[in-house]
Structure 1
């Protein structure tokens, strides 16, 4: 985690009274500003690429303590020349222009918050926030994504949430789009393994604009009731997590679709990355977000559940989605590409939550990023899609899968291994009572991001997303893939019918199994 020269506690009901940029030379750690008034935005405007550092400082005052003669900031602009609009604009470092005026009691006419985002492709999906098109003038290196101000006038209204419960539609169906491994960065990023509609290699291009466009195309084609983000929303070692995260969720928020997210191994990886806790705080405060940090006593950040109810006025759930943090790489340097496992506290949380819900619905599934060890079991029966690369999962099996079998979970959705997109079952042994336990479907989501890898063993593959569709009246769960360029569905498969696994495999003499 990076740290700014100094920070202050933001006062309640604050109003911006001034703004400046402080450039700090090497071997200097502070800016000569009164920390009781000035609050530092904890983002180096040079993005940690220079011996100098540059920081945006905002002077704050408490609205309740403002006198009639107090000057507050009514507007902010950026550019080489002063704005042409009326009023007396004051120049500040970094090409910032400030319009200050006496506070007249109308908070909507005052700037109350200021943020910095980076890149020509930056977006701010928060209602009432205005992202400036003109960047700050700070003489940064040309390859560094430009710094842009985003400002809020007045008080942010309560966020748009799904206070109305998620429910199946009148036709008893409910559709979910799974977006995995977007790998957004600060700036446009680089894609070096895209292909055209005929499968021919394309030259290197900007990555994140392609990812944003692909997300929008699939959302418009499928019109889902819910979006689930299954980790690695962000690439590793990026300089501003907030900028990248906003780009991921903006197409979802623009379409007023509820969404929920888990973290992947790369999301909080890097010396300047925001922690999972900080990223979850950002997600929680965004419109239409259902994401939650989960209980503090449970390992990880983002262990929570979301329920989908039957049509009103019923309060009975059709499905429960359990979201769990699958953690990251193990810190040991001797265990290359070895990943952590689902912890006992998480398994206990799942069991306790399942039992407390009583009727959790018979079409419930688990959402994680890193696949469980069972995804690489040699007895796995692949029913659709393909395994194109080895499964990279935990080095230790904590047997979370066994709990999912015991509790009748229908499916597990994950990301992580970008070019795998199979849906598979692990055959179960018939027990002494003659019954065969129902095993959950193990389903990869594929990767949607052009900034992450999209090739393996020298072969490139299309970016893709998984779609899930529940049908409450039929007790069914169906899935299919959406690929670049493809007009329709790919690898469509019925997973559950009448609440039970469709076409379950057996361990012996099942020629339909693809043993991997």
Structure 2
């Protein structure tokens, strides 16, 4: 394992190559400290690393790091940027030594990684006031295994399982700006810091619902932000603080921009966080983040009672037909889905508890073309804007029907929060009786950094809650909305394993 033996900040004119210290020992943290906003200079943090087994007793290693005013005691060494390093001779043990250093940005930055400590004081770089401040985060010793990754998802003893769906948080590097908030009475509020509002809203929902799982349905990040990691950490921190498992799919904005991390890089970050159930998915399937999570019966049973499917809905594409237009779900994803679903079905059939109903849900970011079909019947919630979907229909919806999916949850269109049905016709044995399902549901926008208005009208931020009851084969949903004390638009979607229409009463 590597140990930090020194660190420094190097500043370069933009006309010169950024050649720092000896690359055989010094590692550059690939985050430009001015966030590409300073035309006259560029700055990076360099960390000297030596493998533990190569250290001798007389070698100095970094035991602690401070930023700001000089510490009052100890033999601290000054480094550029207001950094102070405490170095001692190597004792043969690295438990107390610094082993990793990272940079996060913003006064609202957080580091949810176990054992990492984020410096309160920012680096002294003389950046412009509007540039999010750079802050060091430090790891001492060996990182322990991340918590919350061993136990599978399970329904409660009463057969229920609750999911909070959070969509379109649009976090940025720094606090961001909310331009369209309003108070409980609909009065427009002035511009304010966006991301702290989003974090607070998420926390209040989690405390009210205490879910078994949180699902992010895309656009966790705003487009064109300079540091993806800082923004990702902020959005997942409230979930990790409460020890709740979470999963995520990507939206069209998450990896947009010159300096944005790729989907694979973001997935790697998410996978290594506590309580994360995120997966990149099979390499032969288009996109990053095509995976499924089984929800098992109470321990010690291994019987899956529900399956949750996650798909990458890709991003925006050039189009002469519609602007904006989006990539459709790819054929490799459509092929992967029924294969995975049928494997789950086979696993259930081998179980000895088949008296319990099985419910399957699908989550993605961009809605399918069926969300804008004329035959679509909104049964709950509201449409506040036209559905932005791919122009080309690859008919993934047909696979959902064939596999008996109960509901699909998406994001993308912030002020849509409805659940709707598209009647289907069965043609088995000549039967053309219309039947229902699956439900097509929007989550609604949860983030204050993304738009919360359309056509001159503002909307409160919201999130969708799903509750499965595998003992009765039922699925119900409701929303949590700003300022509302109770559940909003609660409705039963499935009863006895079959999709129901709340508008039809006997």
User: TM-score interval w.r.t. the shorter chain?
Assistant: over 0.9
User: Which of 52, 58, 70 does residue 59 from structure 2 map onto?
Assistant: 70
| Structure 2 residue 27 is the aligned partner of structure 1 residue 39 | yes
Q: CA deviation at 1:121?
A: 0.3
Give the conservation status (yes or no) of the 8 Å contact 1:362–1:409.
no
Q: Please name the residue that 1:61 is paired with.
A: 50
Which portions of structure 1, spanning 4 or more consecutive aligned residues, are displaced by more than 3 angstroms? 331-335, 435-438
TM-score (norm 1): 0.94
Q: Distance between the aligned counterparts of 2:407 and 2:245, measured in 1?
A: 21
Q: Following superposition of structure 1 onto structure 2, how do residues 464-503 of structure 1 map, counting pairs within 5 Å?
A: 464-503=462-501
Q: Following superposition of structure 1 onto structure 2, how do residues 16-27 of structure 1 map, counting pairs within 5 Å?
A: 16-27=4-15
Q: Distance between the aligned counterparts of 1:291 and 1:32, measured in 2?
A: 36
Give the conservation status (yes or no) of the 8 Å contact 1:78–1:136.
yes
Q: Please name the residue that 1:236 is paired with.
A: 223
Give the total of aligned pairs.
494
The one-character-per-residue Cα deviations of 1:198-252 (angstroms, maximum 9, x if unpaired) are 0110000000000000000000000000000000000000010000000000000
Q: Distance between the aligned counterparts of 1:104 and 1:332, measured in 2?
A: 63
Q: Distance between the aligned counterparts of 2:493 and 2:481, measured in 1?
A: 20
Q: Distance between the aligned counterparts of 2:443 and 2:36, measured in 1?
A: 34
The one-character-per-residue Cα deviations of 1:289-320 (angstroms, maximum 9, x if unpaired) are 00000011110000000011112222211110
Give the conservation status (yes or no) of the 8 Å contact 1:321–1:366.
yes
User: Which of 15, 21, 29 does residue 17 from structure 2 map onto?
Assistant: 29
TM-score (norm 2): 0.95
Q: Distance between the aligned counterparts of 1:437 and 1:386, measured in 2?
A: 23
| Structure 2 residue 100 is the aligned partner of structure 1 residue 113 | yes
Q: Please name the residue that 1:351 is paired with.
A: 338
Q: Name the Cα RMSD after superposition.
A: 1.6
Give the conservation status (yes or no) of the 8 Å contact 1:129–1:153.
yes
Q: Which consecutive residues of structure 2, in runs of 5 or more, have no partner in the other structure?
A: 349-356
Give the conservation status (yes or no) of the 8 Å contact 2:423–2:435.
no
Query: For residues 127 and 240 of structure 1, do their structure 2 counterparts lie closer, same or farther at Cα, with a shift above 3 Å needed?
Result: same
Larger mean CA deviation between 315-324 and 231-240 belongs to: 315-324
User: Which of 415, 422, 431 does residue 427 from structure 2 map onto?
Assistant: 431
Q: Which consecutive residues of structure 1, in runs of 5 or more, have no partner in the other structure?
A: 1-12, 512-516
Q: Please name the residue that 1:3 is paired with.
A: none
Q: Distance between the aligned counterparts of 2:300 and 2:215, measured in 1?
A: 26
Q: Please name the residue that 2:178 is paired with.
A: 191
Q: Distance between the aligned counterparts of 2:318 and 2:54, measured in 1?
A: 49
The one-character-per-residue Cα deviations of 1:32-83 (angstroms, maximum 9, x if unpaired) are 410111100001100000121100000000001100001000001101x211
| Structure 2 residue 242 is the aligned partner of structure 1 residue 250 | no
Q: CA deviation at 1:359?
A: 4.5
Q: Following superposition of structure 1 onto structure 2, how do residues 130-279 of structure 1 map, counting pairs within 5 Å?
A: 130-279=117-266
Q: CA deviation at 1:331?
A: 4.2
Query: For residues 91 and 332 of structure 1, do their structure 2 counterparts lie closer, same or farther at Cα, with a shift above 3 Å needed?
Result: farther
Query: For residues 380 and 335 of structure 1, do their structure 2 counterparts lie closer, same or farther at Cα, with a shift above 3 Å needed?
Result: closer
Larger mean CA deviation between 432-441 and 37-46 belongs to: 432-441
Q: CA deviation at 1:437?
A: 5.1
